[in-house]
Chain A
Amino acid sequence: MARKKIREYTNLKEMVTAQPWLGNTKLVVKPDMLFGKRGKNNLVLLNANVEQADQFIKERMNKEVDISGKKGPVTHFIVEPFVPHTVEYYLSIVAKRDGNTISFSNVGGMEIEECWDHVKTLDIPYGEPIDAANLHELVDSNTSGREFIIQFIRNVYKIFEELSFHFIEMNPFTLDQDGKPFPLDMRGEVDECASFKCGSKWVVDGEPIQFPQPFGRALFPEETFVNDIDEKTGASLKLTILNPNGRIWPVIAGGGASVIYADTVADLGYGHELGSYGEYSGDPNEEDTHKYASTMLSLATRNPDGRPRALLIGGGIANFTDVAATFKGIIRAIKEYHEDILKANLHIFVRRGGPNYQSGLQHMREIGHKLHIPIKVFGPEINMTNIVSMAIQTIKV
């Protein structure tokens, strides 16, 4: 299918030599990014020639747009042939626990949500071949191009399975001059965990697919750094920066506990002070924990303004993570950021249990004492989230 992704934009007209269809086809241009409501924001150009398309992209490339309150520059466009059409269909496939659900409607397009009662669904139990399913129930007899559409759905379903999609949606797709289905817009999600099996098939224009970031924010270098460590180890390390000027910074062990710590900060009315969401888990080694803690300390101690700040070194009672070993990495980072911690008026609150927690906590107390850093250290004798209110008391002052 002729379609061109525009990344480093110079001039669309120059691409005509390599992509002759651009010069002799009517074109559609629209952003290729993770946001919707593009028509409503004047970001879609239909039935254009290459000069018009070029002009359209130039006027909008890298300009900031506001999509439902999320702001960011438009950086990626897609250019494809314009297909004159009268009908618009809707198709989606969603992976669920027991199977995949196919949804189809012969009233697709922008107003799909308002027309949801036209949508028919069919559940295909996991593992059952699509060729055995009766799709005639899904696409009723007065649908034009019915048999072509049914074959099309089967093919999309096979690709869905083969490439480990989690979700795929075409809204709308239409029929071209020959009556064959043609998607006008589509989006999908693949299961990242399947990359070791399907990665070689996730290819766009001959290159491995690049997963886009959520619209409205660029990644901070610290986030990229943590992502990189996360990918290299069997352990899990996550970081999303919420507010670089926040005064509460969590260094939390555990996917479950990290959510609860963030909840508690918000529940107590200090969500606006929460610097980030993140977690480390799966028994990361001392080196990775050190890198993670250093990143967090560098964020938490930036631009000191004299007002008190809090670092939460929290977690539940670990099953198998060696608390003393992971704390070693954190303590090394604290030593290295000693001056910055004092300058930033950063108070540290520790709560943790699990294998070797006693010696881990003891080392934390000792380092606080030795470096004159304000640090409070607790084990399972207090509730996991108690340190949150202590931290808030401190930064309130």
Chain B
Amino acid sequence: MNPSVTSPEMTTPRVEGHLPARLFTKQSQALIYNYKEAAVQRMLDFDNVSQRDTPSVAGLIHPGAEGGFYKAFFGFKELVIPVYNSIADACESCPNADVFLNFASHRSAYQSSVKALNQPSIRTVVIIAEGVPENEARALIALAKKNNKVIIGPATVGGIQAGAFKIGNTAGTIDNIMACKLYRSGSVGFVSKSGGLSNEMYNVLSKNTDGIYEGIAIGGDAFPGSTLTDHALRFEKLLEVKMIVILGELGGWDEYGIVEALKSGQITKPVCAWVSGTVARIFPTEVQFGHAGAKSGGETESAEAKNAALKGAGAIVPSSFEDFANVIADTYGKLVAAGSVKPVEEPNPPELPLDFKTAVKAGKVRKPTSIISTICDDRGEELTYNGVPISNICQEQYNVGDVIGLLWFKRQLPAYASKFIEMCLKLTADHGPCVSGAHNTIVAARAGKDLVSSLVSGLLTIGPRFGGAIDDSARVFKEAYDRKLSPEEFVEGMKAKGKRIPGIGHLIKSADDIDKRVVILKNYSKEHFSSSQYLDYALEVEKYTLQKANNLILNVDGCIGVLFLDLLHSCGLFKKEEIEEIVNVGYLNGFFIVGRSIGLIGHALDQKRMRQPLYRHPWEDVLYDV
């Protein structure tokens, strides 16, 4: 009962070379499914330095979206790229786009790739996702074969034809593209499993040869859509490719396809090859490498065996990865000496403007900000209000008054002050359906307007005559008290100027019919505030005005106004200038606005709940005096 190993000879791939030699040109265009913004921009930036006439991105596909457009830069200009909601629509609208770049997740890459492989206009499908099930990968391979299409991936970054077409994020940022001269053709065909190493190798090749003609990362899975051998055979057929560089990896038998192709004479161009994973022999047990397909399986799958087989078939194999660059330089040198490689013309790639975000990250630009914010910060892992994380605010039972303290006054207010703010909100939350704000809200709601329109319609009535007198009363009482005016001087002074005293007087309430809200506020302040100088002064003023008329009482606005003055002065958290500023900027009407919003929303909902029809004011209630 001894588990046995399947004979490796039987799994050596047959060398078929069924892929077309040329996959990309300088006119190739892609459709990008589930597009990633950075990838789109990087493709277009590559287009620009490669001096392409047309952008390489023809359209984007965002399944389920309504379509529309996406803006990206093509050099200095902004380009408007159409967004489609289905693969079929995109293919129909962009018949010239023959590359389908699929950024779908491993769960859905199969379905979208099947659709793409069935589109007549698509020739090449690139699958980025890592972790696509093997059976799905194999089904896609079978479909591609049947429909005569090419798959690159899954689990890849893609590939690049220097100076012509770049897939997605291949070759990284524009500085790397410039540094490796990927904006113009070289004469090396490069293929590997790993996307990260491809980019590394583009750098190595740019230093040791005239650079790549084309580079493909087939992806690290056990069953890649196209293989190292497939691409090596393509490179053999592409006239511009003068030498082939292959970076293989332990696991699987793909490299033996190249061995066969070399032996059978299907590949005649010089091949430099290295298979990584020689370390596996010193590992005490099976190790899961980073790539799913990299498994230290049977002996023939080992890096040593594959390197030896490649060498035996005539490939140029270094002694280690460190030596790879030397072997490549050497091979290239021989081609140059033999005259098979002509020196490349060096184009002058146009300068690409730095992306603003990139430049900021790199610390290369500065720009004055347009907006300043000092009360909260949403950039970190957790939202903070004036430095207090939102989780503390919820866990530690902060009340709404505390939150107002943080966001308006930028202070942690003492509990009695927060409670006072809450009390103001509660007392001002509503005052019946007949006041101007509620009336407006009701009329708007009955006109079929949405909640926010109805609310705002009511809020817009808040002003000097309705609910908006808190700030003004605080201002005038403060000034009068600070200037040590007697109540009489104050009231008569105002009268002489023809001004009403804000915070004094009520349409309905009077000295006989006292406003309960004012009583509650006064009682609370007496119990909790350490000073009541402004309230006391206002009450003296009230005594004086009541002599003139019974309804000239200190109303709720006035009461909140003066009590806030007392609170600000007595709590010890505010400097004199800060109090001046609070009163001048006008913080205090905010209490009425926030509080009354609660009631106005209630009225709007009430009207909608009661299915109230459009309100029309009755004729008989209007004096037509025409």
A interface residues (Cβ-Cβ under 8 A, vs B):
30, 36-40, 44, 70, 92, 94-99, 101, 103, 109-110, 112-113, 116, 121, 125-127, 161, 164, 166, 169, 171-172, 184-185, 187, 191, 193-194, 196-197, 214-217, 236, 238, 240, 242, 253-260, 262-267, 271-272, 274, 277, 279, 281-282, 315-320, 324, 353-356, 358-359, 380, 383-386, 389
State in angstroms the CA–CA spacing of A161 and B3 once bound together: 21
- Please, what's the 1-or-0 string for B304-347, where 1 marks a CB less than 8 Å from any CB in chain A? 00000000000000011110010000000000000000000000
B134–A95 CB distance below 8 A:
yes
State in angstroms the CA–CA spacing of A126 and B282 once bound together: 36
Question: Chain B residue with minimal CB distance to A167?
Answer: B6
B1–A354 CB distance below 8 A:
no
B193–A256 CB distance below 8 A:
yes
Which of B68-76, B285-293, B383-391, B528-536 lies on the face that meets chain A?
Answer: B285-293
B interface residues (Cβ-Cβ under 8 A, vs A):
1-7, 10-11, 13, 38-39, 106-107, 130-136, 138-139, 141-142, 145, 157, 169-173, 176, 179, 192-197, 199-200, 202-204, 220, 222-223, 227, 247, 249-250, 276-279, 281-292, 294, 303, 319-322, 325, 358, 361-363
Main secondary structure of the interface of A (DSSP, over half): mixed
Question: Chain B residue with minimal CB distance to A253?
Answer: B196
A97-B141, A217-B285, A256-B249 are known contacts. Are A282 and B130 too (CB-CB below 8 A)? yes
Question: Chain A residue with minimal CB distance to B107?
Answer: A196
The answer, among A38, A116, A121, A267, for a CB contact under 8 Å with B1, is A38
Q: A194-B134, A255-B289 are in contact. List 16 more A-B contacts (CB 8 A).
A: A101-B6, A171-B2, A193-B131, A193-B132, A238-B289, A240-B287, A254-B194, A256-B247, A256-B291, A259-B279, A260-B276, A263-B276, A266-B281, A318-B199, A320-B157, A356-B362
Q: CB-CB < 8 A to B1: which residues of A?
A: 30, 36, 38-39, 44, 109-110, 171-172, 184-185
Q: CB-CB < 8 A to A215: which residues of B?
A: 285
B361–A319 CB distance below 8 A:
no
State in angstroms the CA–CA spacing of A319 and B180 once bound together: 13
Q: Nearest chain B CB to A213's CB is how many angstroms away?
A: 9
Q: CB-CB < 8 A to B291: which residues of A?
A: 255-256
Q: CB-CB < 8 A to A385: which residues of B?
A: 321-322
Q: CB-CB < 8 A to B283: which residues of A?
A: 240, 242, 277
Q: CB-CB < 8 A to B157: which residues of A?
A: 319-320
State in angstroms the CA–CA spacing of A354 and B42 once bound together: 13
User: Can you list 17 A-B contacts with CB-CB less than 8 angstroms, sorted by A residue number?
Assistant: A44-B1, A97-B227, A98-B141, A112-B4, A125-B142, A193-B133, A255-B294, A256-B197, A259-B249, A259-B276, A264-B320, A282-B130, A317-B176, A358-B362, A359-B362, A359-B363, A380-B176
B361–A359 CB distance below 8 A:
yes
Of B13, B193, B196, B321, most buried by chain A (CB within 10 Å of CB) is: B196
Question: Chain A residue with minimal CB distance to B179?
Answer: A380
Q: Nearest chain A CB to B276's CB is how many angstroms away?
A: 5
The answer, among B133, B223, B290, B325, for a CB contact under 8 Å with A256, is B290
Q: CB-CB < 8 A to A95: which residues of B?
A: 134-135, 138, 223
A242-B283, A319-B172, A358-B362 are known contacts. Are A166 and B134 too (CB-CB below 8 A)? yes
Q: Nearest chain A CB to B445's CB is how many angstroms away?
A: 46
A259–B172 CB distance below 8 A:
no
Q: Nearest chain A CB to B200's CB is how many angstroms away?
A: 3
Q: Nearest chain A CB to B569's CB is how many angstroms away?
A: 46
The answer, among A101, A185, A354, for a CB contact under 8 Å with B172, is A354
Q: CB-CB < 8 A to B325: which residues of A?
A: 383
The answer, among B3, B139, B179, B284, for a CB contact under 8 Å with A242, is B284
Q: CB-CB < 8 A to A272: which residues of B?
A: 282
A319–B134 CB distance below 8 A:
no
Q: Nearest chain A CB to B529's CB is how many angstroms away?
A: 47
State in angstroms the CA–CA spacing of A36 and B282 once bound together: 21
B194–A318 CB distance below 8 A:
no
A260–B197 CB distance below 8 A:
yes
A316–B142 CB distance below 8 A:
no
B3–A36 CB distance below 8 A:
yes
The answer, among B4, B130, B200, for a CB contact under 8 Å with A257, is B200
A254–B290 CB distance below 8 A:
yes
Question: Chain A residue with minimal CB distance to B286?
Answer: A214
Q: Nearest chain B CB to A30's CB is how many angstroms away?
A: 7
Main secondary structure of the interface of B (DSSP, over half): loop
A216–B285 CB distance below 8 A:
yes
Q: CB-CB < 8 A to A109: which residues of B?
A: 1
State in angstroms the CA–CA spacing of A250 and B416 once bound together: 58
Question: Chain B residue with minimal CB distance to A185?
Answer: B1
B320–A267 CB distance below 8 A:
yes
Q: CB-CB < 8 A to A161: which residues of B?
A: 135
State in angstroms the CA–CA spacing of A70 and B285 once bound together: 8
B172–A197 CB distance below 8 A:
no
Question: Chain B residue with minimal CB distance to A388?
Answer: B322
Q: CB-CB < 8 A to A214: which residues of B?
A: 285-286
Q: CB-CB < 8 A to A319: which residues of B?
A: 157, 169-172, 195-196, 199
State in angstroms the CA–CA spacing of A233 and B276 once bound together: 27
State in angstroms the CA–CA spacing of A376 and B38 once bound together: 31
Q: CB-CB < 8 A to B199: which residues of A?
A: 316-319, 353-354
Question: Chain B residue with minimal CB distance to A184?
Answer: B1
Question: Chain A residue with minimal CB distance to B303?
Answer: A263
Question: Chain B residue with minimal CB distance to A103?
Answer: B6
A255–B196 CB distance below 8 A:
yes
State in angstroms the CA–CA spacing of A92 and B5 once bound together: 10
The answer, among A94, A110, A384, for a CB contact under 8 Å with B200, is A384
A94–B6 CB distance below 8 A:
yes
The answer, among A112, A353, A386, for a CB contact under 8 Å with B176, is A353
State in angstroms the CA–CA spacing of A240 and B227 once bound together: 28
State in angstroms the CA–CA spacing of A85 and B283 once bound together: 40
B196–A257 CB distance below 8 A:
yes
Q: CB-CB < 8 A to A37: which residues of B?
A: 2
State in angstroms the CA–CA spacing of A326 and B179 once bound together: 23
Q: CB-CB < 8 A to B142: which residues of A?
A: 98, 125-127
Question: Chain A residue with minimal CB distance to B10?
Answer: A121
B290–A113 CB distance below 8 A:
no
State in angstroms the CA–CA spacing of A356 and B358 once bound together: 8
A257-B197, A317-B199, A319-B195 are known contacts. Are A169 and B3 too (CB-CB below 8 A)? yes
Q: CB-CB < 8 A to B222: which residues of A?
A: 166
State in angstroms the CA–CA spacing of A171 and B13 once bound together: 26
A257–B194 CB distance below 8 A:
yes
A316–B179 CB distance below 8 A:
no
A164–B133 CB distance below 8 A:
yes
A380–B203 CB distance below 8 A:
yes
State in angstroms the CA–CA spacing of A171 and B1 once bound together: 6
A196-B107, A263-B278 are known contacts. Are A164 and B320 too (CB-CB below 8 A)? no
A317–B276 CB distance below 8 A:
no
A266–B278 CB distance below 8 A:
yes
State in angstroms the CA–CA spacing of A132 and B58 once bound together: 44
B321–A193 CB distance below 8 A:
no
Question: Chain A residue with minimal CB distance to B325?
Answer: A383
State in angstroms the CA–CA spacing of A171 and B283 once bound together: 28
The answer, among A116, A184, A384, A386, for a CB contact under 8 Å with B7, is A116
Of A110, A260, A380, most buried by chain B (CB within 10 Å of CB) is: A260
Of B223, B285, B319, B363, most buried by chain A (CB within 10 Å of CB) is: B285
B220–A255 CB distance below 8 A:
yes
Q: Nearest chain A CB to B275's CB is how many angstroms away?
A: 10
A197-B133, A254-B196 are known contacts. Are A320 and B172 too (CB-CB below 8 A)? yes
Q: Nearest chain A CB to B321's CB is how many angstroms away?
A: 5
A214-B286, A319-B172 are known contacts. Are A259 and B363 too (CB-CB below 8 A)? no
Q: Nearest chain B CB to A116's CB is how many angstroms away?
A: 6
Of A39, A161, A274, A281, most buried by chain B (CB within 10 Å of CB) is: A281
A271–B279 CB distance below 8 A:
yes
State in angstroms the CA–CA spacing of A44 and B139 once bound together: 41
State in angstroms the CA–CA spacing of A36 and B3 once bound together: 6
Q: CB-CB < 8 A to B321: which residues of A?
A: 260, 263-264, 267, 385
Q: CB-CB < 8 A to B3: which residues of A?
A: 36, 169, 171, 187
Q: CB-CB < 8 A to A267: which residues of B?
A: 278, 319-322
